[in-house]
Amino acid sequence: MTEDDERTCEVEVGPLGERLSALRLMEREALDAMRRSLEAHRQLTPLVVFRQGARLEILDGFKRAHAARALGWRTLRASVTSVSSVEAKLRLRALHEGRGLTELEEAWLVRSLHREDGLTQPEIARLLQRHKSWVWRRLMLVESLDAEVQTDVRLGLIAPRAAVAVSRLPRGNQRAASAVVMRRGLTVRQTEQLVEAVLDERDPTARAVLLARRLEAPAPSAPPGPRPSRARSEVDRMSADILRMQELAVRLEVRLSAHSLETFTPAAAEMMREALVRLVPVLRALERVIAGVTSEEVPR
């Protein structure tokens, strides 16, 4: 690819596709930092996009696109390049080679090349300059890990290395284990110890009971100090609701960006379409309330 193969122009942010975002982590802190950067410095570097059919897909710049939409920006500068689906994924890996992809991100990339692009494991090994056993291990990791747990990783709710530990468990135990990790705030080492304890139980029922007990155990106690007032408790509850709304909104945005409704059965697509339409007035009502209590116009 040479510079002559690319051109930089203004593109509308709204219609940009984000299929490749399924191969990357979506951490809320990074998104917030990018939004602050755009507010303070505007756009410093262009997105990298490529054309797939009639649509432009983002290759690099997912956080910039998300932050721009949150700020109500209509356009961003983008470098439009001509690459195939496979070339785009290989270039995505190369762009982040310095920082390094996590083990799970590597697994997402391998699965995408194998399942979506139809490449064999030896072909993937050659393209990524890895041994065939490395490709097989990454593929087995992502195939064995529950989809809900993978979503939690993308949203930054559970560390990638903790999710790798959870992948050792039977699928039927993985969501419960992930919930324990998030509720208890377990470290990677503590997650590995939890997994070992679950695997020591040979009976499936005993495993489920162990995880249920860990999940239902009292949350870590608060540090000693004066008892919070009722007003403070209400602030805590409202803050928790706001944080949960943010997490749910990001999770829904990621899923809708990665999966078009047309990919589901007609009945399921129609059900989700109706549910999304019913959600719009609820969000608009919440927007009006937020504008009222903050005395500020909420950006569209």
Residues with Cβ within 8 Å of residue 76, at least 6 apart in sequence: 10, 11, 13, 43, 46, 47, 61, 64, 65, 68
* 86-120 confidence digits (pLDDT tens): 999 999 888 877 667 889 999 999 999 999 999 99
* 245-293 confidence digits (pLDDT tens): 776 776 677 677 766 777 767 766 776 777 788 888 778 878 887 887 8
pTM over 0.85: no
Q: 1-84 has which fold? A: 3.90.1530
Domain boundaries, the chain: 1-84, 157-216, 260-300
Closest CA to 187 of 168, 165, 206: 165
Is pLDDT of 217 > 60? yes
Sheet holding 55-60, edge to edge: 7-12, 75-81, 47-52, 55-60
Is pLDDT of 5 > 60? no
Burial annotation 170-202 (CB, 10 A radius, 16+ → b, else e): eeebbbbbbbbbeebebebeebbebbeebeeee
Is 23 in contact with 151 (CB distance < 8 Å)?
Answer: no
Take residue 91 and report the two structure tokens written for it. Answer: 């270039």
